[in-house]
Chains A and B, each alone.
Chain A
Amino acid sequence: MNDILKLTITELIEKLKTRELRSVDVTKAALERIKERNDSINAYITICEETALKQAEISDQKLDDGEAGMLEGVPLGIKDLFCTKGIKTTAASKMLADFIPPYESTVTQNLLDEGAIFLGKLNMDQFAMGGSGETSAFGDTINPIKEEEKLTAGGSSSGSAAALADFQCFGATGSDTGGSVRQPASFTNTVGFRPTYGRCSRFGMVSFASSLDQAGFMARSVEDTALMFRAASGFDEKDSTSADVAVEAYDEIINDLEVKGLKIGLPKEYFVDGVDQKVKDVINAKVEQFKAAGAEIVEISLPHTKYAVPTYYIVAPAEAAANLSRYDGMRYGLRVEGENLSDTYAKSRSAGFGWEVKRRIMVGNYVLSSGYYDAYYSKAQKVRSLLSLDFEKAFEQVDVIFAPTTPELPFELGGKIDDPIAMYLCDIFTVSSALAGIPCISVPAGFTPEGLPVGLQILGKAFDDAKVLQAAKKAEDMNK
């Protein structure tokens, strides 16, 4: 492998600016790596060789002309649920297998405006529903950390995480509805950031659960993640939940945090018996490092944590059932002709959606149907309020919260796919924050004795994105 592929984005930008490297050469090297490795790892669904090289040429010209954007000439991978104009966008589903969006998502447009190059579209769990990459209609993604053991790279942003860990891109977009950038980051020793809900426009992202969906950013360093986030975020009138709050220069202020005096909350509900001891050991060691550097460690309680997964698995399917009703085979997407209109709808949807998607649509319609609405959907929305309140109270006491990203280590592909509850429980530490809409990140914290990565999760209050990134940068620095 060409060593330039191991550079971080910030290192690459330096070398592009001094012309030590040219974007065309870097892009070619990345494309070569992808083509060499895609059969083994399956991180990409679509490779954009021609357009990427064309973009790189333009970037090199802009760099020469002194017109470089924030990410000029940097090759990224894009999760295949961001609509990219003229480039197939499948959401890893047969339903959209041939869908070529006539428009660009706001997040990817913002990245393009800053000079980013798109290497291709990344594999994922179908419609972002899954935690292992296995619900993709285009095959499983293999975790490159221990390739021979066929472990999951996590999900739903499986391709994003695997491509980064395997040096097939310098940064990647993901999306996080209930943990979909943080859990894959934890499983692949990469950084995965979920911003405050509303920070990034959802326009042009294939919808799963609209009150939870948020663009996420993944990279091999916290600073890279901060830079991508800065480039992609901001108010967008095309998304009614977009927040009109000023974007900060997150990458430039990444070191502006004193660990001394930083109040770190450790929620007792996140360090319970069900958590793998090896995960706890790595996280506890990291907490000790912060303590030694002068941070104040405070035990806190988020009493409704236990109810986060059941709440999520009512709210998310309900919203999914509504969102995915648009796939009817009439205006776009798969159509399978039936005997009449209704039969065509059902045949198209049955052929287009995978099992997990169908199950969630069914669960969603159940909890929304009369007779069950109050007992399930309405109840879940109330518990969601309580989960959110837990965080509000906690942040009166502390600046940030530290926790494991997942209760367990990367598991074998096929290990949980037939047991929905076991799969859903993997999300136990990531869904509460998604339901509350607060910023959170998974940052590499270390390895188990067997060499499996463990992610530290850092959570902050709404719009405290900068502080979450800064604390993660400190955690990353302590790994050195």
Chain B
Amino acid sequence: MSEVDIKTVEKLARLSQLDFNEEEKATLQNEFGKIFDFVSQLQEVDTENVEGMTSVVKNASTPQRQDNPQNQISRDNLQSNAPSTEMGFFVVPKIMD
């Protein structure tokens, strides 16, 4: 079985900005083993000279539109879901000590 050690689980949790207790970490470790056993089947496919497919849109280009200012949503509306605002600013926790 594919082994993912608990240190890797902890590192991924940090990268993912998620907290897990010890029991959850063990569950994840176990599930990761199964999932990576399963997806490792892909290693048997010959992909020599095969280009990766990043989009189903053939010859994808990045369409551009005119850079005209639009006033679709007011600031008040946009901030209506914010956990905390003050004078039209988002209030966030202190970033530097």
**Nearest CB on A from B67, distance (A):** 12
What sequence of 0s and 1s flags, for each residue 9-40 of chain B, a beta carbon within 8 Å of any chain A beta carbon?
10011011111100000001001101100111
Residues in chain A near residue B82, CB distance under 8 A: 330-332
A382 and B63 CA atoms in complex are apart in Å by 25
Q: Does B57 contact A (CB under 8 A)?
A: yes
Instruction: Give which listed residue, B39, B53, B83, contacts A381 with CB less than 8 A.
Output: B53
Residues in chain A near residue B56, CB distance under 8 A: 197-198, 211, 388, 435-437, 462
Residues in chain A near residue B7, CB distance under 8 A: none
What sequence of 0s and 1s flags, for each residue 359-402 of chain A, a beta carbon within 8 Å of any chain B beta carbon?
10111011001000001101111111110100000000000000
Residues in chain B near residue A332, CB distance under 8 A: 81-83
| B18 pairs with A350, CB closer than 8 A | yes
Residues in chain B near residue A437, CB distance under 8 A: 56-57
**Nearest CB on A from B76, distance (A):** 9
| B12 pairs with A366, CB closer than 8 A | yes
| A328 pairs with B17, CB closer than 8 A | yes
| B12 pairs with A362, CB closer than 8 A | yes
A363 and B16 CA atoms in complex are apart in Å by 10
| B13 pairs with A100, CB closer than 8 A | no
**Nearest CB on A from B19, distance (A):** 4
**Nearest CB on A from B77, distance (A):** 4
Q: Does A338 contact B (CB under 8 A)?
A: yes
Instruction: Give which listed residue, B32, B39, B81, contacts A102 with CB less than 8 A.
Output: B81
Q: Indicate whether A102 sits within 8 Å of B78 (C-beta atoms), given known contacts A366-B12, A376-B39, A380-B42.
A: yes
**Nearest CB on A from B46, distance (A):** 9
Residues in chain A near residue B73, CB distance under 8 A: 102-103
Q: Does B93 contact A (CB under 8 A)?
A: yes
Residues in chain A near residue B97, CB distance under 8 A: 340
Instruction: Give which listed residue, A102, A325, A349, contacts B77 with CB less than 8 A.
Output: A102
Number of interface residues of B (CB under 8 A): 52
| A103 pairs with B72, CB closer than 8 A | yes
Which segment of A124-132, A186-194, A226-234, A235-243 sits at the interface? A235-243
| A369 pairs with B83, CB closer than 8 A | no
Residue of A nearest to B45 (CB): A383
A338 and B83 CA atoms in complex are apart in Å by 14
A365 and B93 CA atoms in complex are apart in Å by 25
| B43 pairs with A211, CB closer than 8 A | no
Which segment of A12-20, A253-261, A277-285, A303-311 sits at the interface? A303-311
Q: Does B69 contact A (CB under 8 A)?
A: no
What sequence of 0s and 1s flags, for each residue 37-70 of chain B, a beta carbon within 8 Å of any chain A beta carbon?
0111111010100111111110010110100000
| A310 pairs with B93, CB closer than 8 A | no
Q: Indicate whether A329 sits within 8 Å of B83 (C-beta atoms), given known contacts A197-B57, A350-B19, A421-B35.
A: yes
Residues in chain A near residue B51, CB distance under 8 A: 382, 385
Residue of A nearest to B49 (CB): A382
Q: Which of B12, B15, B17, B95 has the most CB of A within 10 A?
A: B17
Instruction: Give which listed residue, A240, A334, A462, contacts B63 with CB less than 8 A.
Output: A240
A436 and B40 CA atoms in complex are apart in Å by 21
Residues in chain B near residue A330, CB distance under 8 A: 82-83, 90, 92
| B18 pairs with A346, CB closer than 8 A | yes
| B42 pairs with A379, CB closer than 8 A | yes
Q: Which of B32, B42, B53, B65 has the most CB of A within 10 A?
A: B53
| B83 pairs with A384, CB closer than 8 A | no
| B18 pairs with A362, CB closer than 8 A | yes
Q: Does A271 contact B (CB under 8 A)?
A: no
| A337 pairs with B18, CB closer than 8 A | no
A424 and B41 CA atoms in complex are apart in Å by 15
| A321 pairs with B16, CB closer than 8 A | yes
| B52 pairs with A353, CB closer than 8 A | no
What sequence of 0s and 1s flags, for each residue 289-325 of chain A, a beta carbon within 8 Å of any chain B beta carbon?
0000000000000001011011101100000010001
What sequence of 0s and 1s flags, for each residue 327-355 of chain A, a beta carbon within 8 Å of any chain B beta carbon?
01111111101101110111101100100
Cβ-closest 8 pairs across A and B = A437-B56, A381-B52, A332-B81, A335-B83, A382-B47, A102-B77, A310-B39, A385-B53
Residues of B near any A CB (own CB < 8 A): 4, 8-9, 12-13, 15-20, 28, 31-32, 34-35, 38-43, 45, 47, 50-57, 60, 62-63, 65, 72-73, 77-84, 90, 92-95, 97
13 example contacts (A-B, Cβ-Cβ < 8 A) are as follows A243-B57, A332-B83, A338-B93, A341-B93, A345-B17, A346-B19, A361-B16, A362-B16, A362-B32, A365-B16, A383-B42, A386-B45, A421-B34
